[in-house]
Structure 1
Amino acid sequence: MKKSLKQVGSVMLLSVLTISVAACSSNTGSTSSSATPQSSSETQPPKLTKLTYWVPNHSAASGQMKTYAEMGMYKELEKVTGVKVEFQHPPLEVPQAQEQFNLMIATNDLPDVIEASWGATSGAVIRYPGGPEKAILDKKIIKLNDLIDKYAPNLKKLLTDHPDWKKQISTDEGSIYAFPFLRGDDKTRVSFGPSIRQDWLDKLGLKMPTTIDEWYTVLKAFKEKDPNGNGKADEIPIYIDKNMFSTDAPFLGAWGINYSFYQDNGKVKYGPIQPEYKEFLKTMNKWYKEGLLDKDFAAPNEKLYDNKMTTNLMGASVSYNGGGLGKYAGLMKDKDPSFKLEAAPYPVLKAGDKAIWGQRDFAYNGVGAAISAADKNPIETVKWLDYAYGEKGDLLFNYGIEGTSYKMENGKATFLPEVLNPPAGTSVQQSIAKYTRATWSAPFVLSGNFQLQYLGLPQQKKALEIWSQPTAERKLPLVSPTQEESSKFASIVTDIQTYQDEMLLKFIMGVEPIDNFDQYVKKIQSMGIDDAIKIQQGALERFNKR
């Protein structure tokens, strides 16, 4: 979920076998194919032997392999299907990946499959300007409804069984545009939130902060009272990079708003122009001036972040459950047994208030694998992608290879001990990444059984409970503008987000006085935010009628 935040998985699926729902449960991995989705005794030569696939390479994998093709899951799938995949990996960082995505689209140099945040309209994600319906209209990707109906029985059955999922993955016009990454149940939809060094709190006799004022008190103590015990004033009280400010509002949400569009009793609003946003900026500016907020927050660097966390310098942050709490528990278990990074509640302004904003997500977060208009074998690609949503694909994409990464116990897939307990210096996420992409995302259905094993540490299970508390009532579903509105909306929002990102840094760092906030709001209004809000309001009303 960076959140990618939140980048996503690719799925290699059976291209040469005509799959029915019943057949999937007894799939032997043969490579027969037919022209229709019904089974046939006639063996046909495979039409699809190679695919090109564009997807960012997650850091948990890139440190161990150059391409997803080296991952155990994909090696096994190539054996099963006979389909070799050539992955095209842009950088994981969203700005650079978006730049390459835009270039790919502009030059029309398209691979067969493109994985991106097709359904997202805001946040630090890779997306198509104007949304997926516009991408179909522009003939960059293809509409999948009929192909899924005829050639993807596994996904078709899931959407029939879960009409709410179908609603989420469709446009207002009813188009299905990608094979989606789906979180199967509530256990899989909470993975991110505030985190803090519990051992530092214990050492200083402090309680877990729940309000913004309590956070300030704790961060001041972290800075001034030497919780790492080295006799130096080198502690970094909190690190929140510029992307984390905009991802599910981990601190901004205390003021009841987010960094983009949200709804308040069915009315769409825009967080960065609200009076509450000014108060948030004042607080962050104060934290920055007093040295509580890491000076490097404006230039996210994952390696630098890892170094600060693992050298006992960082007191608090915003973390993923697996790629944060679990990752650093693994990296520090021998290096510093006293190290305890634990989940903190989403903060509020007044003690006892219920947190509104949190990361709890919908089943679908907008990420999916679309088939490009350049694909010469769309039917076979659909069959290939559909494999992930059947019984065999579920096991492969969640757990990897039976006997190598998991075994079956009492009817359930169970990771082998060596996978969940890797050597010191290796996180569980990195260990699992040798076999699957399930610890971040891919076009398949993430299993609750997987999540409970992956998040096996006590602090991770506790984090699920803590980060699940916010109501998330103001979160917008994945709405989309109409074809007529899409270009206008994309132009407005792109320009506004560029400007507000720039001003976020300036306000927090004191380059721009907070007193100029009203001028900033007027600037965003002059850029067309009222028109964008109106478009989103209409989109929300259409979504509710889907």
Structure 2
Amino acid sequence: MKREMKTLSAFAILLVFLLLVVGCSGNEASNAKENGDGEKAEMKNPDEVNYPEVLTYWGELHPNAAQTAQTLNDVRAYQAVEEKTGTKVEFKHPSGEGTDITEQFNLLLASGKLPDVIEYNWRTVPKGPDNAIKDGTIIRLNELIENYAPNLNKYLNDNPEVKKMVTTDDGNIYSFPFLRGDEKLMVFMGMIIRQDWLDSLGLESPTTIAEWEEVLRAFKTKDPNGNGKQDEVPLLVQPNDFKNIGPFVGAYGIHAQFYNDNGTVKYGSIQPQFKEFLTTMNRWYEDGLLDADFAAMDGKLLDAKVTNDQLGSLFGYTGGSIGRYTGLMEDHPTFKLTATSHPALEEGGISATAQKAFPYEGYHSVAITGKAENPEAIAKWLDFAYSEEGHMIFNFGIEGESYEMVDGFPTYTEEITKNPDGLPMANALGKYIRANYGGPLIQDVRYLEQYLPLPEQKEALDIWGKTAENKINLPPTTLNADESDEFNSIMSDLNTYYDETVIRFIMGEEPLDNFDEFVATLEGMGINRAIELQQAALDRYLAR
């Protein structure tokens, strides 16, 4: 009996010991972060982590801020954050824009001399974000966010679809994201038309391809600007807008590029409908309805066509087009721009595609690099922007300077709305906030409600939003390292051929009888393999 009691006692002690070990292991797992090599490292107690004393930060200085700031340290939001956190940030900004920034980003990575954090679209980085974590360029953030970023962590847990978007196929969160916090913030581009020209000619806003053609011919021939000359340019849409957003292309039920047809990835430009689209655009170009300069347009030339009272319709922005040109033409007695929907083929139909952003797409998001020595403190600092206090600072600036609370609504002051130095509202906001161009934060719709003061701008959100209620735009998928290399190799040469040939089709330099040859060339260059790679990425995304 004693032997049995001893055996039971020993067993009980062993059982308790095992339970303690399992419990401790569970605690260790929850308080561990993953290194670039996949090993676990002990994490600090969140209560013992302070904001970093110093921080190096690489990222673009957006034009909205660059007019009044040398670095983001000159923006009042970051000055306020320094006061709140005590963290001194050394900002390093690449020069130029677009491909210039991409080249400097690639050179930065190749140098190995990385700052603590890098702001970039890490979703599109070569080989993908999972590989960037694997090779130690940046670090996995899941555990850091869970332990040291309570504000962002709560938002992601409360919004599982957004969390799905910021998480890779391998389950990694790789950046502190720029997030659009309301549906209204996701639509900001579309077709714009001269409402005063429609009114003068007794025409309704067009909704079908046939109605658009009728309106454009009237703009061309009936002198809507009233100067007695046939100098009107009925329509301007640039090649990249045809390609990436799809105004007019969507009328034919496709997207020009990769799109999601009920879970199946297709490439619109090899579909028969794309030839129909090209046929229409070629006719419009030949008849002088589509701007002769559409393939070589720049901002100055576009501005000139609008301000010279020549342009009848364009593809543009709520702020940068409707708002900006209304201001530039305020001395014109009748000038009025309004939004119009992307057309369908049939009356009452809806375009298959239009511009509509996802809550997260990767732009202006911040990753912590593998060179950072205090990632816990950095995570805490970045999380400040997602706190209630940080949210107000990054969306509205400084109370008493850039905004006042009026009946519970953060209302911009005349420092923003009627800037005493004559700054446009976009640049006045850029002195104080980041919400009007992105950053690691949650964009607030109350910013937009004031940024778009004109009724025509608010109406545009509704008009374009209805057109954009489609299901074919691909979600923010990611390719893995091998797929990324192969896809980029295929698309590099293919896109060059594609861009040149589509312009030639529209301008009549390439006969549309050669469309089948165009498709065959794309297939010979690997477009079907590129579709397979995008399909694999979509399948993984849907399974996340």
Identify the TM-score tier after normalising by the shorter chain: 0.7 to 0.9
Q: Does 1:117 align with 2:121?
A: yes
The one of 353, 358, 367 aligned to 1:357: 353
Q: Deviations over 1:369-425 (max 9, x none)?
A: 222334444333322221111111110111111111111123332212452345797
C-alpha distance in 2 between matches for 1:487 and 1:464: 38
TM-score using structure 1 length: 0.85
User: Is 200-209 or 295-304 further displaced after alignment?
Assistant: 295-304
Q: CA separation of 1:465/1:485 partners in 2, compared to 1, >3 Å: closer, same or farther?
A: same
Q: How does 1:197-208 map to 2 (within 5 A)?
A: 197-208=194-205
Q: Deviations over 1:467-509 (max 9, x none)?
A: 1112221111111223443322232233322332222222222
C-alpha distance in 1 between matches for 2:325 and 2:291: 19
Q: CA separation of 1:499/1:146 partners in 2, compared to 1, >3 Å: closer, same or farther?
A: farther
Shift of 1:110: 3.8
SS at match of 1:269: strand
Shift of 1:337: 4.4
C-alpha distance in 2 between matches for 1:148 and 1:463: 37
AA aligned to 2:376 is I
The one of 366, 384, 389 aligned to 2:386: 389
Q: How does 1:33-72 map to 2 (within 5 A)?
A: 36-38=45-47, 47-55=52-60, 57-72=61-76
Where structure 1 has 5 or more consecutive residues not aligned to the other structure, the ranges are 1-33, 120-126
For 2:17, the equivalent position in structure 1 comes to none
Shift of 1:269: 0.5
Q: CA separation of 1:514/1:425 partners in 2, compared to 1, >3 Å: closer, same or farther?
A: farther
AA aligned to 2:351 is A
AA aligned to 2:207 is T
Q: Does 1:323 align with 2:324?
A: no
C-alpha distance in 1 between matches for 2:132 and 2:282: 40
Q: Identity of aligned pairs, percent?
A: 46
C-alpha distance in 1 between matches for 2:47 and 2:188: 39
Report if aligned partners of 1:187, 1:452 keep a CA contact under 8 Å in 2: no
For 1:344, the equivalent position in structure 2 comes to 340
Report if aligned partners of 1:479, 1:540 keep a CA contact under 8 Å in 2: yes
Report if aligned partners of 2:193, 2:314 keep a CA contact under 8 Å in 1: yes
TM-score using structure 2 length: 0.85
Larger Rg: 2
Shift of 1:215: 1.5
Shift of 1:132: 1.9
SS at match of 2:361: strand
Report if aligned partners of 2:343, 2:350 keep a CA contact under 8 Å in 1: no
Shift of 1:116: 2.6
C-alpha distance in 1 between matches for 2:262 and 2:437: 32
SS at match of 1:469: helix
SS at match of 1:306: helix
C-alpha distance in 2 between matches for 1:499 and 1:129: 22
Which is helix-richer, 1 or 2?
2
Q: Does 1:215 align with 2:219?
A: no
Q: CA separation of 1:532/1:222 partners in 2, compared to 1, >3 Å: closer, same or farther?
A: same
C-alpha distance in 2 between matches for 1:526 and 1:432: 49
AA aligned to 2:527 is I
For 1:78, the equivalent position in structure 2 comes to 82
For 1:88, the equivalent position in structure 2 comes to 93
Shift of 1:167: 0.3
Q: Does 1:169 align with 2:198?
A: no
Report if aligned partners of 1:326, 1:429 keep a CA contact under 8 Å in 2: no
C-alpha distance in 1 between matches for 2:447 and 2:242: 29
The one of 526, 533, 541 aligned to 1:528: 526
C-alpha distance in 2 between matches for 1:141 and 1:498: 31
Q: CA separation of 1:522/1:101 partners in 2, compared to 1, >3 Å: closer, same or farther?
A: farther
AA aligned to 1:86 is F
For 1:8, the equivalent position in structure 2 comes to none
SS at match of 2:178: strand
SS at match of 1:339: coil
Q: How does 1:380-459 map to 2 (within 5 A)?
A: 380-422=377-419, 426-459=423-456
SS at match of 2:193: strand
SS at match of 1:365: coil
Shift of 1:359: 1.8
C-alpha distance in 1 between matches for 2:419 and 2:456: 18
Q: CA separation of 1:376/1:313 partners in 2, compared to 1, >3 Å: closer, same or farther?
A: farther
C-alpha distance in 2 between matches for 1:70 and 1:90: 17
Report if aligned partners of 1:134, 1:486 keep a CA contact under 8 Å in 2: no
The one of 458, 464, 468 aligned to 1:467: 464
The one of 492, 512, 516 aligned to 1:518: 516
CA RMSD of aligned residues (A): 2.4
Shift of 1:85: 3.3
